[in-house]
Amino acid sequence: MNKTLVLLCFACFVITNSVFAQNNTVRIAFWNMENFFDPFVDSTKAYNAFTEEGMQHWTKSRFYQKRNNMYKAILAMSENRPLGILGMCEVENEYVLRSLFEQTPLKKHNYRWILYEGPDKRGIDPAIVYSIDHFQLVESAVFPYYNPEDTAYHSRDILYAKFVAMKGGVSTGSTTAAGSKVPEPVEGPTQHPDTLHIFVNHWPSRYSGELETVGSRSCSASILRAKVDSIVAAAPEGYQPKIIMMGDLNDCPTDPSVYDVLRARHPSEREEGGLVNLFGKNEGLSFEGTLKHQADWQIFDQIIVTPAVMDDREGLHYKEGSARIFHAEFMLEDDEAYHGKKLYRTYIGPRYFGGFSDHLPVYIDLE
């Protein structure tokens, strides 16, 4: 797919989708950015494949091409309005976030971000980007991966942030400039009906084999579930916290880590004390999956919520039927080997294609 065609598809998509759902909705999204590295050598890291002299020959022009692809997709997904919150993973550092959100047309949307450098051996981390026109940051933290049965293995941290939704107008509390590595938190209500707790996940991959790594993902699920339970347990009587978990879980909704350990089920299968997986089935999501393995589409990228997000009408709540896998035509290409469509990727192995990502983004709307 050439650059001219990408630009034409992007322009057509934005024009034909220019009407945002409603002024009283805010979009919450997640996207695995697939190796969003800067092109510079980092002397503090052992992994430098994505540099000009590295194995991937990651030049400045290739970096800018990817950055421009990503901003076009984000603008299309948000329908040219600011996303309330965008969870991301496979982000190298603050430089790539600043380049994407300060040096492209996305800068008009008043985004800030949260990023902590973690233990991943490739140097990629989760991040949270948020609109200060929609949300005020209260606090943020990371929860490290730890497996007592394999203490030598390190994986990505789980990133956490608490926000309070703004009622029209820009937050007056969050005054740090876009680009602050971890924005200074502000004082805010802890039990407000428009308080959101956000967790962004990138669970251990299947690189060594699905069965060989299933325990690692179950461990991540246990850590996340424990943190969610602690927030719920600390809430005063009668108050149900609104918690949104998102990420690339490297497992499908019916795999044990999600279905049994996290106890996240499709809305049609809700159970007492369980979580609601808005991507638990692909019906109604507008696409088959978020990534493709040979001929099979799978949903590794999911958004999961506590029941309060579904049921509490006092403040922000899930807009029924709004969960979607975003799949603009310019992010896909014909799959000659397995038929249908496949993702238009940046790389496949060492081969450069100049596309977007090996994952599609997901989103929900709150109203």
The pLDDT of residue 302 is 98
In the chain, the percentage of residues whose pLDDT exceeds 90 is: 79
Of 12-26, 53-67, 121-135, 143-157, which range is least confident? 12-26
Lookup: tokens for 295: 């001929």
Lookup: tokens for 148: 């007592």
Domain that holds residue 354: 3-366
pLDDT single digits (tens) 301-323: 999 999 999 998 778 999 999 99
Domain count across the chain = 1
pLDDT above 90: residue 102: yes
Question: Degrees (nearest 5) of the Cα angle 280, 286, 14?
Answer: 130
| Bridge partners, residue 28, by sequence | 85, 364
* Three-state DSSP class for residue 10: helix
Q: Mean pLDDT in the chain?
A: 89
Q: What is the DSSP string of 32-99?
A: EEEEE--SS--TT-S---SSTTSTT---HHHHHHHHHHHHHHHHHHTTTS--SEEEEEEE--HHHHHH
Question: Does the pTM exceed 0.75?
Answer: yes
Helix spans in the chain (H): 3-16, 60-77, 94-102, 210-234, 256, 307-311
330 vs 325: CA distance, rounded Å: 14
For 33, 87, 125, 201, the CA distances from 221, given in Å and listed in that order, are 22, 18, 17, 10
pLDDT single digits (tens) 166-208: 875 333 333 333 444 455 555 544 556 689 999 999 999 998 7
Q: Residue 252's domain is classified under what CATH number?
A: 3.60.10.10
